[in-house]
C-alpha cells in the first residue's frame, strides 16, 4: 500500500483540490438517497488537499456538513437526533458493530450516518467528546482496505479515505449501484492525482518505492 505525496497545487479547484487541468467536478454524480449523511469535519481538515469528504457531499443530495473547531464553543449535534432517522455514528470504536445487511433490515426507518472527517485523532474526538451522541450506535466497516494506493497514509488495515468509506457504507444501506458510482468517483480522484504527480503516464503505471510517502 502506497500513500501519495502531496505538493502545493497551483490554482486548485476549490472542490476537488486538483489543478484545473485535472478537475473531476464534472464527473461527480448526484445521488438523491433515503440515507442521510452528516459529515462532521474539523476546520483544519478542510485545508488539506487530500480531503475527499467534500466530494461525498457534492455527490449526495441528502447530506450536510458540520464544522468543528471554528470557535471555542463546542459544536452541538443534538439537533441531528430526530425520530425521522435511525442515527449511527460511523466510527470504528471498540464497541462498534458491523454495518451489514442484517443491521439495516432491523428497521425500515431511513438511516442517518454521522461521519467524522479528519485524522484518527480528530475523528476520535467526535466519538469521545460529544456527550449528546453517547447513546448513538457506533458502526463500522471491518473489511480491510486492499487498495494499492492511498491519498493519505493509513495506519489501520481497515483505514479508508472518507469518500471511500462512505461508498462502502452506502453500498450496504442503499445497494451496489450507489457504491459503484461513489467508488468510480474516488478511483478517478486517485487516478488524476497519480497523473498530476507523474505516477501515471497514459495507461502505463510508473511505480515508485512501495512504502508510505505521505507527508506528515
Mean pLDDT, each 10-residue run in order, the chain (216 residues): 52 82 92 97 81 93 92 89 97 94 97 89 82 95 67 56 94 97 93 74 40 33
Asked whether the beta carbons of 111 and 36 are under 8 A apart, the reply is: yes
Neighbours of 178 (CB within 10 A): 22
* Alpha helices per DSSP H over the chain: 53-59, 101-104, 120-129, 162-174, 176-196
Q: Tell me what pLDDT residue 160 has.
A: 85
Q: Tell me what pLDDT residue 22 has.
A: 86
Domains and CATH numbers, the chain: 30-186 (3.40.1280)
Q: Tell me what pLDDT residue 211 has.
A: 30
Rounded to two decimals, what is the model's pTM?
A: 0.82
Per residue, what are the HEC states of 6-59?
A: CCCCCCECCCCCCEHHHCCHHHCCCECCCCEEEEEEECCHHHCCCCCHHHHHHH
Q: Which helix (H) or strand (E) holds 86?
A: strand 86-90
Residues 6+ apart with CB under 8 A from 102: none
Find, among 15, 61, 84, 99, the residue nearest to 178 by Cα. Answer: 61
Burial class (CB in 10 A: 0-12, 13-18, 19+), 45: buried
Q: Tell me what pLDDT residue 57 has.
A: 94
- R_g of the chain, CA atoms, integer Å: 17
Q: Tell me what pLDDT residue 64 has.
A: 97
Amino acid at each position: 500500500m502506497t500513500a501519495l505525496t502531496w505538493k502545493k497545487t497551483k490554482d486548485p479547484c476549490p472542490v476537488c483540490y486538483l489543478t484545473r487541468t485535472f478537475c473531476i467536478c464534472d464527473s461527480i454524480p448526484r445521488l438523491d438517497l433515503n440515507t442521510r449523511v452528516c459529515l462532521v469535519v474539523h476546520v483544519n481538515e478542510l485545508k488539506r488537499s487530500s480531503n475527499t469528504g467534500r466530494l461525498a457531499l457534492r455527490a449526495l443530495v441528502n447530506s450536510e456538513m458540520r464544522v468543528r473547531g471554528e470557535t471555542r464553543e463546542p459544536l452541538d449535534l443534538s439537533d441531528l437526533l430526530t425520530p425521522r432517522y435511525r442515527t449511527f455514528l460511523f466510527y470504528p470504536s471498540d464497541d462498534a458493530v458491523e454495518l451489514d445487511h442484517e443491521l439495516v433490515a432491523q428497521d425500515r426507518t431511513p438511516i442517518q450516518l454521522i461521519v467524522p472527517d479528519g485524522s484518527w485523532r480528530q475523528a476520535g474526538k467526535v466519538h469521545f467528546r460529544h456527550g449528546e451522541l453517547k447513546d448513538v450506535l457506533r458502526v463500522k466497516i471491518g473489511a480491510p482496505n486492499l487498495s494499492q494506493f492511498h491519498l493519505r497514509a493509513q495506519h489501520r488495515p481497515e483505514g479508508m479515505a472518507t469518500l471511500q468509506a462512505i461508498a462502502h457504507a452506502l453500498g450496504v444501506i442503499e445497494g451496489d449501484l450507489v457504491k459503484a458510482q461513489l467508488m468510480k468517483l474516488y478511483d478517478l480522484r486517485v487516478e488524476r492525482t497519480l497523473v498530476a504527480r507523474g505516477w501515471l503516464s497514459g495507461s502505463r503505471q510508473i511505480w515508485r518505492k512501495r512504502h508510505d510517502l505521505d507527508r506528515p
